[in-house]
Structure 1
Amino acid sequence: MDYQIIAKRILELKNADLNLREKLIKSKQLSEGYNQEMEKLHNQNAKTLAEIIEIIGYPTIDKVGKEANEATWLIIQHSIGQPDFMRKCAAELKTAVNENKADAIHLAYLTDRIAVFEDKPQLYGTQFDWDETGKLIPNPFDDLAKVNERRKAIGLITLEEQTESIQKRALNENQTPPKDFNKQKEEMNEWRKKVGWIK
């Protein structure tokens, strides 16, 4: 099995994702719901990655190297229209982390993202969204002290520090809150039902 070719393919998927994101930031289309072009690309990338995983198993650091392993996580993290795929990957990533073949921080981000889509509290506070006042804040989490303990255990800064950093980045990228908070929330819930996150 030529893992180098597979690693190269995974990096191509990641680069296509990041290039599109950059384009949407420049055209100020990133904050208005889930962009259709981006959704299509995320679903295509998930399909290709699923085929790769079918052949080689989870692309761990020892197989594809650190960079492609990180790119794998990014593709999974963005596969939000594929709940079953994300959950399956989270289980495989957990095994890889336990075997020291993947990064525990990646698992924390993926675990939180799944929790947010399932309407469950985050364990690490890695996922953020706009509130009704137009402020970018962490999605609901269980307990601040516990969240910060878990974050520290895997080498993350405190949630307070992360919040400040995320808010600065959004400002630098000219991200803005949705024009109609309730409408966007409604649309998001409809979308989550459609793809199968919630009933």
Structure 2
Amino acid sequence: MNVEMIRNSDLQETLIAMADEDQRVLKELSDAGELPSDAYHPVMRSVHEWNAAKLKSIIEEHGWPDRSIAGEKGAEAAWLIAQHSVSDIEFMQKCVVLIERSLRDGNVDGWQLAFLRDRVCTLTGQKQLYGTQFDVDEGGWPIPFPIDEPDEVDQRRFSVGLNSLQERISEMHERERARRRSAQASA
């Protein structure tokens, strides 16, 4: 086994462990009823900031950890970490540029760019392009944040491998119905 394969395997494992910790803490806080909340939960913030700092050092050493460097699961983990780096929008913007480059090279999936670009847009008060980011209406139902040129959103979504916006809205509504049924059953 060559050194490059070992390094890539280690990098992939590191990224996956970071993303797994993010998801573990998210589930733990959600199960405890502490999320969702209006404020950025300090424990979640701590995990996100630690992961972002580690991802920055990985990028400095390796470049964007796409599938050519970190494997499929490592690349997805890197995306998740960038997606959750909400306290450092400048870093998220840098990640958008790096993911765009990797997408052109065929080393990431288009949905990763769509979700991260939309997240940056919504966090900076701009309209999103792909309709991946959702808010909730007065009744607590998911609705997409404002979309730039909404008549073209499905074309943009299809170009990166996403389903139609209406299908995604239906999925989000079904998820909310399931959450409500579960909450009622627990009450």
TM-score by length of 1: 0.83
Q: Specify the code of the residue in structure 2 equivalent to 1:25.
A: S
Distance change (3 Å), C-alpha of 1:102 and 1:88: same
- In structure 2, the partner of 1:180 is none
1:130–1:137 contact (8 Å) kept in structure 2: yes
- Which sections of structure 1, spanning at least 5 residues, go unmatched? 176-199
Q: How well do the aligned residues superpose, as a CA RMSD in angstroms?
A: 1.5
Aligned residue in 2 for 1:70: 76
User: Match for 1:14 among 8, 19, 23?
Assistant: 19
| Corresponding position of 2:162 | 156
- Secondary structure of 1:126's match? coil
**AA in 2 matched with 1:131:** D
CA contact (8 A) 2:141 2:176 kept: no
Using the alignment, how far apart are the partners of 1:37 and 1:113 within structure 2? 21
Identity %: 32
Structure with higher RCO (Cα < 8 A, 6+ apart): 1
Q: Distance in 1 between matches of 2:29 and 2:133?
A: 20
CA–CA distance in structure 2, aligned partners of residues 85 and 37 of structure 1: 20
State the shift of 1:173 in Å.
Answer: 4.0
After superposing the two structures, state which structure 1 stretch, 26-35 or 98-107, moved more: 26-35
Q: In the alignment, does 2:94 pair up with 1:88? A: yes
CA contact (8 A) 1:79 1:86 kept: yes
Partner of 1:102: 108
Find the aligned partners of 1:174 and 1:133 in 2 and give their Cα distance.
Answer: 12
Question: CA contact under 8 A between 1:115 and 1:121: conserved in structure 2?
Answer: yes
State yes or no: 1:48 paired with 2:67.
Answer: no
128-137 or 82-91, which moves further after superposition? Answer: 128-137
Q: Which runs of 5+ in 2 are unaligned?
A: 182-187
Shift of 1:167: 2.3
The 5 A counterparts of 1:113-192 are 113-173=119-179
Is the deviation greater in 11-20 or in 159-168?
159-168
- What is the TM-score with the length of structure 2 in the denominator? 0.88
The answer to whether the 8 A contact 1:25-1:174 is kept is no
Counterparts of 2:140 and 2:69, CA distance in 1: 43
TM-superposed CA distance for 1:174, in Å, is 5.1
Corresponding residue for residue 188 of structure 1: none
Question: C-alpha deviations, 1:97-151, integer Å up to 9, x for none?
Answer: 0010111110000010000011111110000011234321000102332001111
